[in-house]
Structure 1
Amino acid sequence: MSSNIFRIKEVFVLFYRMFLAFFFYFVARVFFYFYNFDLLNVSSVGEFFSIAYHGIAFDRMALFYVNILFVLLSILPLVVNTKKGYQRMLFYVYFIFNLIAYATNFIDLIYYRFIYSRTTIAVMDSLEHESNKLTLFSKFLINYWHVFALFVFTSALWVYLYKKVGFKEQIVIENKKQYFISSAVLFIVVGVGFLAGIRGDLKKSTRPLNLIDANRYVSKPEHADLVLNTPFAIIRTFGKTSFSKVDFMTEEEKNKYVSSEKMYSNNPATTPNIVLFITESFSKEYIGAFNEDENIPNYVSYTPFIDSLSKQSLIFTNAFANGSKSIHGMSSVIAGIPSFKDAFTSSPYPKQEIESLVSTLKSKGYDTSFFHGAPNGSMGFLGFGNILGYDHYYGKTEFNNDDEFDGVWGIWDEPFFQYMREVLNTKKQPFFSTLFTVSSHEPFNIPAKYEGKFPVGNKQIHKTIGYTDYAFKRFFEEASKEPWFENTIFIITADHTNQVDYDEYLKVVNRAAVPILFYTPNGTLHGKNIDLAQQIDIFPTVLDLIGYDKPFRSWGRSLVGDKEVTPFVINYGANQYTFQRGNYICRFDGKKVTGFFDIKDKALENNLINSKNKEMEELEMACKAFLQDYFERIVDRKLN
C-alpha cells in the first residue's frame, strides 16, 4: 500500500473518532434537555434540533480544545503511527481528556436546576472554602446514581464504538519522501482547520466564541443553556477569576461610600425618543469642541460636524471610558455595568436579569432596537443584546447589501446610518435605538469614492474619523426632515479610545478620555460641563431626563441632576484600578493602594502616597466600596 493511501486511512480514522465525540456531545445535550425540560421551555422537536444545530459550534470549540494533543499526536509524521503501542497510547490520551470534559455535562443534568446556568469555572470559587469536598462529591454520586450510571453507560458505548474502526499495523518502508511531504500538507491543513474551529473562522473581524454568543441563536434566554455545553462554559471562563466577591469593609461602611440605587424627581415624566450612538474608537482627542480648553499646540480637529453639533448640545469634556474594548463600552453605556480586568460579558455572570436602558425604557412602552453593521453577532453584541432584551437587532444580514461591505468589519458607516434612519421611520414612537458604528477601526479604510475628501492627519485613524463624522452629518441632515426628529434626545459617545497623536492623550489617565454629548433639537440641553463623567453615567442621566419615577440600579450618576453623588470616574488599566474624584486620583491594585496623585496629574508622575491626607483616605474607601458592591451584585445576581 502506498504511503498516500496509508495517510488517507489515518485521516479517515481521525475524522471518525472526532465524529464520535460530536455525537456523544449531542447525546449529552439530549440528556440535559430531558432532565431539565420544564426549565428549558422547548416547544417542539423541531425547535430542539434547531437549538442542537447551533450548539455544534460550541461543541466544536470545546472538543477542539480538549483534543489538541490527541489530534497532534495523530497527524505527526511518524512511521510508527499505526503500531499497536502507539495506538494504545492514543486511546488513553483520547479518553482521559475527553471523558473528564464529558463528565462535566452530566454534572449539569442536576446542578443546572440550582444555578439556572451552565457550570463555569466560577464553581471553583463556590467550593474554595468548603472543607468537605469529598463528602459533597460522594453524596452527589449516591443521590444521583442514575446520572453516574448514564455517564458510565455512554462512556462504555463510546469506547466500544471507538474500537470498532481502526487499521492494521503498517510500516512505511518505501517512498519516505512522499510520505513526509504528504504528512506536512496534512499537518498544515488540519492545523488551520483546528485554528478556524477554535476561533469560529479565520476572519479578522471574528473573535472566539464566548458564553453570551449562545444568545445570538435563541429567542428565549433559557435556550442559550441548551445551545451551550459545560466543557465550553468552563474553558471560556477559565482564568476569569477577577469576578469574585471582595470584603474590604462592613455593609454599613460600604453604604456610606457607594450608592448603587438611584431615583430622581427632577423632571416631569415624558417619552421622547432616544437615539444612542456608541462610536467605534471615537476618542475625545479627535474632536475639536472637546479640546478647546486643553491648550494643545498645533491642535487639529477631525470632526467638523460634531464640532458644530456640540455648540448646540450639552457636552462633557472631562469624560472617560470605563473599559478598553467595544463590548466593555456596550455594557457600560447601556447597562451601567463597567468592565475592569475582564469583560463582564465574558465572565460567568452576564446571563441574569439586568436592569438597563433597555428594560427601563421598555417598561415605559418604548420599542427598543440595536444596530451594528458588522456580521450579525460580531463582538458579542447580539448575544448581550438579547440578554438585555432588545426587541430588534439590525446587522449586516438585515442591511442585505454587500456592495456596501467594507471587506473587513461591516457595512460602511454612512449607508448604515441612513439604513437606521429608514428603519426608525417605520417605528411607532417612542423608540430607543442604539447604533454601534464600525468604520473608524483598524485597518482604517474609507470608501474609495471618498479618497482624498478627509484630512489624512498624522495617524491612520484620522481619515476614518473624518469619514464617520461625515456619516453623522449626512444622518442628521436627513433625520432632521423626519417627523420623529424634534421629539428625540440624541446621545453620542465612544466605546474606547485608539491611536494617540498628542502627548496630552499619552498620559495614563487620558488614554481613556472619550466624548459624551447630549443633543436635543429644541435646544433644551446645551453648554459645556467640565465635571468628571463616565460611560456608566449615561444610563441614569437618560432616566433623569425623561422623569423615570421608579428606583433603579445604577453605579453611575445623573449628569444633569444628581446633587448627592460627587462626580467620579473608575476604570482599569495597567493591571490597576484608577479612581478619580475631587482633588485626587487613586491607584489600587485590588489589594492595596499603590498611589495617590493630584487630579491634574493625568500622567501619574508625582505619587503623593507618603503625604496621605483625609481626602485621600476617603477616596480609598470610596474605591474599595465601589468594587465591593460591584462584585457582590454581579456574583449574587443582583443586577436587576
Structure 2
Amino acid sequence: MLCNLVKIMNKTKNTLNLFIQRFLLLVIIYQLIRVGFYLYNQSFFPEINSKVFIGGLLFDLSALGYINLLFAILHLIPGKFQQNKTYQKFLFTSFFLVNGIFMCMNFIDYEYFRFVGRRSSFSMITAEGMTNEIGGLIVSYFVDYWQIPLFMATTLILFWFLLKRIKFQNIKSSSTLKSSVTLFLILGLLFAAGRGVGRKPLRIVDASKYGPIGTSALVLNTPFTVMKTLSKKENLKEKHYFDDKEAAAIFNPIQTFNYETANKKNVVLLILESFGRENIQRGQTPFLDSLITKSYFFENGFANGKLSIDAVPSTISSVPSLMNKSFISSSYAVNNIYGLPKILKDNGYNTSFFHGAFNGSQNFDQYAAVAGFDKYYGKNEYKGPESFDGKWGVFDEDFLQFFAKELTSFKQPFFTTLFTISSHAPFTIPKKYKGKFPKGTTEIHESIAYSDFALKKFFESAKKMPWYNNTIFVITSDHTSSTGEEPKYKNNVGKFRIPILFYVPGNETMVGINEKNFQQIDILPSLMDYLQLNTKIISYGKSYQSTQDFVVNYLDNVYNLEMGDFYLAFDGTKTLGLYNWKKDPLLKTNLTDKEPKTKEKMERFIKAYIQSFNHRVSKNELTIQ
C-alpha cells in the first residue's frame, strides 16, 4: 500500500494535489498509530470490531481538519510565490513540525492510558498542578518507558521519509479564480470534517457510539481530546430525566443525622497511592493484609475516580468525579462544600492535611483551603532526615514518621488526612532498601511493598502515642494502578476496585467483612454515623449502616453503576450494557434483554443521580441553605 502511495505522490502537479496527498498521508499514519495503540494495550480491549476503526477515522479527520486549516490556506492561496522554492521548503518544514508535534501526543497515551483509562486532556498535557515535578517525571517517563520515544522517533522518521517523496519542487499554480474557489471548497470540507457530520459538533462523548463498552480511548485520538478540553471551564449540562419531585424520590443527596450523644474519636484518613485491589492480599502488603483481619473491611470497595486528584474531593467531601475534567481542577473546585473538615471543625475538631509532595502538587493545598482544613503540610513543612525521592517529594517512611509526631502536638479531637506518594510512578524507593522487598510481577509491586512497610512503621510509632486508642483510622487507596495482571481488573468494574477499611483499636464490634458495594464517597456519611454527630449534609454516598447498595463512577464518558450484583453502563442517554459482575467478572454476558426490570430500576437510579449531581454542582448547591 505504501509503495503505491509513493507512486501517486510523485505525480504531484499543482498545489491542490500537494495538499491532498499530504493530508491523506496524515490520515494513514494516524490509523497506523491507532493500530499501535491497540497492540500496546491489547489486554485492555478484549473485544473490538470494525466500528472502532470507522469511528476512529471520523475523529482523526476532525482533529486533522482543524490542525491543518492554516496549511490549507498556505497551500492554496493563489499567487506566483507558490512556485518559489524557499516558500515551498518553509511550507514543507512547518507542515512536518506542526503535524509531528500533534502526532506525538498520541504516544503519550500509549502508557498513560493504563493509569487513567482514557485519553489525555489539556490539563494533563500541560501538567496542571505538577509544575515542580514535571521535569523529573518527563525524564523518568522516557527512561522507564523507552519504547514510547522509540515509537515516536520511528513514526516521525517514516512521516518525514514519505513526506519527502511527495514532490513539491515543480509546483504549478492555477488561475487566481480557480485557486480561490478551490481554497474555499477545501476550507469548507476541513471545517465539516473538524465539526463532524450531524446536528451537533463531534464531541468526546460521541466515541462511545463506536465499538463495545470501554473502547472509547481506542476510537479517539489525543490531539482531539486535548483540543476539546482547552477551556478550563467544565460545563455540566442540566439533565431533566424526571421532574424534580420524582427525581428526589428516586435519589436524594440530602442526609440528616440525629444522635443524643456524640462519639468524638480522632479521625485519621490515610489515602494510599495506587493501592488498588489488585495489589493487596497477594504477598506484597503483609502489614495491610494483617490490619484488614483486625478491621471492618469492605470487600467490594470502589474508587470514584481514576486519578489521585479525584480521590480527595471523593473522600473528604463526598463528591464523585462525574466529569471529563477532575472536580479539583475544574471551575467548580471553589464551590461551597460542607465536607469533613468543616463538619468536624464545627464539632470542635482540629483539622489538617498532609501530602509529602511539593507544595502545590495536584492543587491539593488549594483544595484543602477551600475544603476548610486548618493547616496544610507539604514538602516545605516537613521536618526530619533528608528524604527527597528525586521526583515527587519525601519518601513515605520518613513523612509518615513526621506525620505521627505532628499529630501528638494537636489538640484532641482532631481530623487529619495523609496522602502517600512513594507508590506513584516512577516507583522510587530509598537506596537503603534496594533488594529488601519482593519485586513482584509488575513494576509497581516493589514500591507497594515499601509503602506497606512505611505504613507498618507508622502504626508502630502511633501505638505509643496518647491519641492512638481514641482514634478511628480510615484507610483507602486513591485509585487502582496501571498494571493489573488479572483481566477482571481491566474492565469498567475492575478498574475501580480498591481496598477500604475502618480500623478502631480495641473495638471488636468494628471487625469483620462487609460484602456490600462501598465507595470513597461513602466515607463521609459513614463517619457521621460512627461519630454520632448531629448534622445535615449533601452527600452522593451512603453510610455503612445504610441498607442501600450502590456505587457510581465515571470513565471515558460512561457512567458506571454497581447495584447489588449487577453493573450497568450508561452513556447519559441509553444503557450500553448490563452484567452480573460478581458471577461474570469479565463482563462477557450482556443481560440487557434478559433482565429488563433490573435494567429499568438501575437506569432510573443513575438518571436521577446524574440529574441531581449536574444541577447541584453547576448551581453551587452542595450545601444545605
Q: Which runs of structure 2 are paired with 1:365-376 in the superposition (5 Å)?
A: 365-376=348-359
Q: What SS does the corresponding residue of 2:331 show, helix, strand or coil?
A: coil
**Larger displacement relative to structure 2 (520-529 or 269-278):** 520-529
Tell me the residue number matched to 2:531: 546
Q: What SS does the corresponding residue of 1:532 show, helix, strand or coil?
A: strand
Q: Which runs of structure 2 are paired with 1:476-555 in the superposition (5 Å)?
A: 476-498=459-481, 499-523=483-507, 524-555=509-540
Q: Which runs of structure 2 are paired with 1:338-357 in the superposition (5 Å)?
A: 338-340=320-322, 341-357=324-340
Contact 1:497 1:511 in 2 (8 A): yes
Structure 1 unpaired stretches of 5+: 1-68, 70-193, 208-233, 289-299
How many Å separate the matches in 2 of 1:441 and 1:352?
29
Matched, 1:620 2:600: no
Q: What SS does the corresponding residue of 1:238 show, helix, strand or coil?
A: coil
Contact 1:490 1:519 in 2 (8 A): yes
How many Å separate the matches in 1 of 2:462 and 2:360?
27
How many Å separate the matches in 1 of 2:127 and 2:329?
20
Tell me the residue number matched to 2:579: 597
Structure 2 unpaired stretches of 5+: 1-69, 71-124, 139-226
Counterpart residue type for residue 405 of structure 1: F
Contact 2:132 2:361 in 1 (8 A): no
Q: Which runs of structure 2 are paired with 1:235-250 in the superposition (5 Å)?
A: 238=231, 240-241=233-234, 243-250=236-243
Q: What SS does the corresponding residue of 1:459 show, helix, strand or coil?
A: coil
Q: What SS does the corresponding residue of 1:538 show, helix, strand or coil?
A: helix
TM-aligned CA distance change 1:196 to 1:529, over 3 Å: closer
Q: Which runs of structure 2 are paired with 1:32-43 in the superposition (5 Å)?
A: none
Tell me the residue number matched to 2:195: none
Matched, 1:262 2:246: no
Q: What SS does the corresponding residue of 1:569 show, helix, strand or coil?
A: strand
Deviation for aligned residue 1:389: 1.1
Contact 1:577 1:588 in 2 (8 A): yes
Contact 2:550 2:564 in 1 (8 A): yes
Matched, 1:277 2:208: no
TM-aligned CA distance change 1:509 to 1:551, over 3 Å: same
Tell me the residue number matched to 1:117: none
Aligned length: 411
Q: Which runs of structure 2 are paired with 1:394-409 in the superposition (5 Å)?
A: 394-400=377-383, 403-409=386-392
TM-aligned CA distance change 1:198 to 1:553, over 3 Å: closer
How many Å separate the matches in 2 of 1:380 and 1:436?
13
How many Å separate the matches in 1 of 2:612 and 2:471?
34
Tell me the residue number matched to 2:316: 334
CA shift digits 1:138-192 (9 cap, x unpaired): xxxxxxxxxxxxxxxxxxxxxxxxxxxxxxxxxxxxxxxxxxxxxxxxxxxxxxx
How many Å separate the matches in 2 of 1:428 and 1:314?
27
Deviation for aligned residue 1:344: 1.2
Counterpart residue type for residue 203 of structure 1: I
Report the TM-score when normalising by structure 2.
0.62
- Identity rate, percent: 40
Q: What SS does the corresponding residue of 1:331 show, helix, strand or coil?
A: helix
Q: What SS does the corresponding residue of 2:313 show, helix, strand or coil?
A: helix
Contact 1:344 1:350 in 2 (8 A): yes
Q: Relative contact order (alpha carbons < 8 A, sep ≥ 6): 1 or 2 greater?
A: 2
TM-aligned CA distance change 1:256 to 1:471, over 3 Å: same
How many Å separate the matches in 2 of 1:195 and 1:237?
10
Deviation for aligned residue 1:235: 11
Counterpart residue type for residue 557 of structure 1: K
Tell me the residue number matched to 2:550: 568
Counterpart residue type for residue 290 of structure 2: S
Tell me the residue number matched to 1:456: 439
Q: What SS does the corresponding residue of 1:317 show, helix, strand or coil?
A: strand
Counterpart residue type for residue 240 of structure 2: D
Deviation for aligned residue 1:348: 1.8
Contact 1:508 1:602 in 2 (8 A): no
Tell me the residue number matched to 1:466: 449
TM-aligned CA distance change 1:196 to 1:388, over 3 Å: closer
Tell me the residue number matched to 1:415: 398
Q: CA RMSD in A?
A: 2.7
Matched, 1:203 2:134: yes
Tell me the residue number matched to 2:202: none
CA shift digits 1:389-443 (9 cap, x unpaired): 1100001001156820100011000000000111111111010010000000111
Deviation for aligned residue 1:270: 1.8
CA shift digits 1:233-252 (9 cap, x unpaired): x9987175452221111111
Report the TM-score when normalising by structure 1.
0.61
